[in-house]
Amino acid sequence: MPDIYSHTANIVRNIFDRRIHTPAVLDADRFFPRGAEFVGSWEQIRDEALTIAGGLHSVPRFHELMSAQRAISANDGHDWRVFVLKAYGHDVRQNLERCPATAELIRRCPSVLSASYSFLAPGKHIPPHRGPFRGVLRFHLGLSMPRGDDGRLGAVLWVDGVEHRLANGGALLWDDTYTHEVLNATGEVRIALLLDVWRPEMPADMVALSHLIVAGARLAAYVNTASFSA
């Protein structure tokens, strides 16, 4: 299954790479202006994420949600747990009900396809990898971003070889088809809100293909809804 996933992802990436040419990190004001609403409410979002973190043992690990991602999730003995609120347009209602402030922000923003809290255990390393297609962009909002013993922000995100260290309430909009890598080099759990949002300004054929791909992913998400619940 991982080989099939990788092969399919490579084909899809190649199609989009020939038609869409934007940098790894994008201007959120242009490509996701509604992101400012999430940034403005980051403390409310953080408080709800911390409540979920109180029962972190019941939140599934990423590879338990997507077995094809075992190589980047179960690679080092440290947990990467993901609390899914929305998956490819499908609401995970029981999870949204536990996070009403975050749920309301998502409801008001129809361009959000997927939303989740991401919990990286101390020492967790997500090795270099690429997302499957450019029809969506990743919005990354820092909620509880720990510091290392040296006082520096210790959760590092590399996108296309460039290092990013987001503080609490800091945000980044980026294209996850570029190679990216994450390390939590601290003794605390790193918590972030991850949103996948529709990419604007695409050629018409890429819009159509994106909707087709997302429809298939939405069906899979619907079938696997039970595994998303925590």
Q: How far is residue 207 from each of residues 111, 186, 197, 221, measured CA to CA in Å?
A: 13, 40, 13, 20
- What is the CATH number assigned to the segment(s) 2-228? 2.60.120.330
Partners of residue 184 on adjacent β-strands: 155
- pTM score of the predicted model: 0.91
pLDDT by residue, tens only, the chain of 230 residues: 456 667 777 888 888 888 888 999 999 999 999 999 999 999 999 999 999 999 999 999 999 998 888 999 999 999 999 999 999 999 999 999 999 999 999 999 999 999 999 999 999 999 999 988 899 999 999 999 999 999 999 999 999 999 999 999 999 999 999 999 999 999 999 999 999 999 999 999 999 988 998 888 777 655 555 555 55
pLDDT at 18: 86
- Taking the C-alpha atoms of residue 124 and residue 138, their distance in angstroms, rounded to an integer, is 20
DSSP per-residue letters across 156-213? EEEETTEEE---TT-EEEE-TTS-EEEEE-SSS-EEEEEEEEEPSS--HHHHHHHHHH
How many residues are there in the chain?
A: 230
> Cβ atoms within 10 A of the Cβ of 49, count?
22
Cβ–Cβ under 8 Å, residues 119 and 83: yes
CA 198, 10, 204, 209 torsion-angle sign? negative
Q: What is the pLDDT of residue 26?
A: 98
24 vs 130: CA distance, rounded Å? 11
Q: What is the pLDDT of residue 72?
A: 94
The residues spanned by each domain of the chain are 2-228
